[in-house]
Amino acid sequence: MSHCPITRAPLSTATLEGSDASVDRVRNDAGYAAGNLAMLSTKANHAKAACGFRDALRIVRDMEAAGSTGTGGLSVAQWARVAVLCSFVEPLSHDEASALPLLVLPPNRLRLFNPVQALQAFVSRQLLTPGWSQRIARFEVLLPGKPARRAFQMFFHALLPRVLEAGRSDDAQQARWAVEDAWRNPLVMKRWTAFARLLTPAQCEALLALAAARRLGTQRIEQLDAACATDGWNLESRGYVPHAVLMRRSPTSPRQASLPL
């Protein structure tokens, strides 16, 4: 990552400032393991702390109700991105996940637990790569039935102008932010939710599998079962390696570790 996905500031190294890059475990009751990691600025990482999706969402709503512009070093918009980032790795109901705007695109290799959000990210990323018009047309053919196709067209025709309003840019980061910001539009969200609720989680997964098989994705998609998705996360011990596992390891004895005289 070149920029923090929460603050959007360039990431630095060893400056001892809030812009320094740091590795965050997105879900705090899981370990530092594959699929649960994101690169954030230390400022965003410290503010997020142990917050999960509902914690961050409550902060956003409290700030909006109080008319506050920021708390904990982050603005309302930045806390909203924290909430969406955390939502990716927390199982939500289909209806709840369908109502969340994609205010931050999932970092690479983050595991998405809610199929509708994976579909949301898949469609959004199409606009970041040339040839999106042809890919979207081929994707529409995969949708189950005319109502779903019509609802998708209405949604996409709301999303596209908001992305184009930001202007064409050869800067990949600016293009990414334009797509994320388009999701703040109420009409985009209204039409996305209407479309997404015509589908089931299983249909979302099937659509992604079909799209991947036909090479319509702009990134590699790998579908995992629940056990594989959380492999190494140690959810039962809130991310810590269980004591029994540590005891089974064979530590080097002091005699073996000592230098010869």
**Residue 176 dihedral angles phi and psi, to the nearest 5°:** -60, -45
Closest residue by Cα to residue 38 from 20, 59, 28, 24:
24
Task: Please report the pLDDT score of residue 258 as a whole number.
Answer: 32
Report pTM: 0.89
Task: Please report the pLDDT score of residue 259 as a whole number.
Answer: 34
Task: Please report the pLDDT score of residue 249 as a whole number.
Answer: 59
Task: Please report the pLDDT score of residue 76 as a whole number.
Answer: 97
Task: Please report the pLDDT score of residue 111 as a whole number.
Answer: 95
Return the amino acid letter for 179: V
Q: Which two tokens stand for residue 209?
A: 């599998």
Q: Cβ–Cβ contacts within 10 Å for residue 56, how many?
A: 23
Task: Please report the pLDDT score of residue 240 as a whole number.
Answer: 85
d(CA 252, CA 242): 20
d(CA 6, CA 18): 12
Spans of the chain below 70 pLDDT? 243-261
Task: Please report the pLDDT score of residue 247 as a whole number.
Answer: 60
